[in-house]
Amino acid sequence: MKGTTQRKIEYGNLRLQCALAVQAILNFKTVEMPGEHGKGVFRVRLQPDVDAAQTAMGIQDMPVVLQEIKSDGSGAETPLFSGYPEKISFIKTGGYQEAELTVASGTVLYDRQERSRVFQMQEQSFGSIVRRMVGEMENGAFLLTVPDR
Quick check: 145 and 126 in contact, CB under 8 A? Answer: no
Nearest to 109 by CA among 132, 130, 133, 86: 86
Q: What is the pLDDT of residue 133?
A: 74
Q: What is the pLDDT of residue 120?
A: 63
Q: Calculate what percentage of the chain has a pLDDT beyond 90.
A: 9
For residue 42, pLDDT beyond 90: yes
pLDDT tens-digit readout, 107-130? 777 776 665 555 566 667 777 777
Q: What is the pLDDT of residue 100?
A: 92
Q: What is the pLDDT of residue 118?
A: 56
As a whole number of Å, the end-to-end CA separation of the chain is 52
| Predicted structure pTM score | 0.62
Task: Give the integer Cα–Cα distance in Å for 136 and 82.
Answer: 48
CB hemisphere CA count around 81 (13 angstroms): 24
Region of residue 128 (left: phi > 0; alpha: psi -120 to 50; beta: else): alpha
Nearest to 21 by CA among 49, 1, 40: 49
Bridge partners (DSSP) of residue 45 are: 24, 98
Query: How many Cβ atoms are within 10 Å of 45's Cβ, its own excluded?
Result: 15
Burial string for 92-105 (b: 16+ CB within 10 Å, else e) reads eeeeebbbebebbb
